[in-house]
Amino acid sequence: MEEKLNSGKTGNQSGDMSPIIISAPEIAMNATVRPLDGHKGTFGTLLIDAGSPGMGGAAYLCCEAALRSGIGLARLFIPEELMSPLLELCPHAISVAASRLPEERMRRLKKLSASSDAVVFGPGLDPEADGIEYDLLYLIENVPNLILDASAITIIAGHREIMDPAFMLRAAENLPPVILTPHPGEFLRLVPGWDKAERRDAPGNFARQYKLILVLKGHETAVFTPRGVWYINSTGNDGMAKGGSGDVLAGLIGGLLAQGIAPEEATVSAVYLHGLSGDIACKRLGRRYMQPTDLIDSFPEAFSRCGWK
């Protein structure tokens, strides 16, 4: 990014496992400064590696949320057959075809990720695609600002023999923590035998062990950091419990990260703003009727309530 934007600091003392309840005044401190002479390079570039046949909506929701977060440029790395419909749905993004050939796909991924401020990998991807685990392995070991969602978690769970060492290598090289965003079913794949009612010790231990930021989605979404801080979100409702809401969250986190907000602050801010957007949509439309696209439509009011201009 050509100019780094300013951000506030969120958190408590390292190792304190009493939860911090995320609130609007806290999130207000994390808003970036948007200079009047800023340009698209100033506000960050996000690469979104997402989508597969039948799952183009995940790529769209992630991309649209990122664009509405305030980034300067979004790049969609998607299968060739999705390029035409996503160009129509999301004309503001740059689309690049992800080859079916693993070597060519990796070559393009390396080039795109090197010139992006953050990368989202996973929404709607085919976890069985030939060689896809090596794409993920490269990103974990090399990309500073990385959000792993949806299919990325399935890939990690299926290839622990190469993924676990990659997380350890990343930590040894002092790269920023990966942001991992599982729902309870996905976290159970990572920690077999986990009791879904237990939402503190296992996810907190996982975040510390693998030196990552873990977003455990669901009622009272929780965020765990590598330094032992535990956040609980105070916004959101069951109207958000619909396919696509997680794609919106991944795009929002990625957008804030690409704008220069530090990983912990970007994650906590996005989780709160995402839930608040859900509450605004719920009040306007009702929990049954509201859809993930309505979360994005509610961003302006949510951002405004938190002092983000």
Q: Does 4 score more than 60 pLDDT?
A: no
Share of the chain above pLDDT 70, in %: 94
- 249: which residues sit within 8 A by CB, 6+ positions away? 65, 149, 181, 215, 217, 270, 271, 274
Task: Kindly report the average pLDDT of the chain as a whole number.
Answer: 94
pLDDT computed for residue 15 by the predictor: 46
Q: Which residues of 95-128 are buried (b: 16+ CB within 10 A; e: fewer)?
A: bbbbeeeeeebbeebeebbeebbbbbbbbbbbbe
Instruction: Assess contact for 7 and 26: CB atoms under 8 A.
Output: no
What is the per-residue pLDDT across 83-119, written as a single tens digit (0 to 9) for each? 999 999 999 999 999 999 999 999 999 999 999 999 9
Q: Does 137 score more than 80 pLDDT?
A: yes
Q: Does 11 score more than 70 pLDDT?
A: no
In a 13 Å sphere around the CA of 279, the CA atoms on its Cβ side amount to 16
Q: Does 3 score more than 50 pLDDT?
A: no
Give the DSSP letter string of 108-124.
Answer: HHHHHHHT-SEEEE-TT
Q: Does 252 score more than 80 pLDDT?
A: yes
Summarize the chain as % helix, strand, coil (round to 5). Answer: 45, 10, 40
What is the per-residue pLDDT across 32-75, written as a single tens digit (0 to 9) for each? 889 999 999 999 999 999 999 999 999 999 999 999 999 999 99
Tell me the mean pLDDT in the region 1-8.
36
What span, in angstroms and rounded, lies between the C-alpha atoms of 195 and 283? 33
pLDDT computed for residue 14 by the predictor: 41
Distances 136 to 22, 31, 101, 125, 176 between C-alpha atoms, Å: 31, 30, 15, 11, 16
User: Per-domain residue ranges for the chain?
Assistant: 38-305
pLDDT computed for residue 54 by the predictor: 95
Distances 30 to 6, 217, 240 between C-alpha atoms, Å: 8, 21, 24
What is the per-residue pLDDT across 193-220, written as a single tens digit (0 to 9) for each? 999 999 999 999 999 999 999 999 999 9
Tokens found for residue 262: 């530090």
pLDDT computed for residue 309 by the predictor: 82
Residue bearing tokens 């440029």? 73
pLDDT computed for residue 18 by the predictor: 86
Tell me the mean pLDDT in the region 143-162.
98
pLDDT computed for residue 240 by the predictor: 98
Q: Which amino acid is at 278?
A: G
Q: H helices of the chain, where?
A: 24-28, 56-68, 83-89, 102-114, 132-142, 151-158, 160-172, 184-190, 201-209, 245-258, 263-285, 292-297, 299-305
Fold classification of 38-305 (topology level): UDP-N-acetylmuramoyl-L-alanine:D-glutamate ligase (3.40.1190)
What span, in angstroms and rounded, lies between the C-alpha atoms of 109 and 49? 8
What span, in angstroms and rounded, lies between the C-alpha atoms of 209 and 86? 38
Q: Which of 45, 54, 103 is nearest to 78 (CA)?
A: 54
Q: Does 131 score more than 90 pLDDT?
A: yes
pLDDT computed for residue 17 by the predictor: 62
Q: Does 8 score more than 70 pLDDT?
A: no
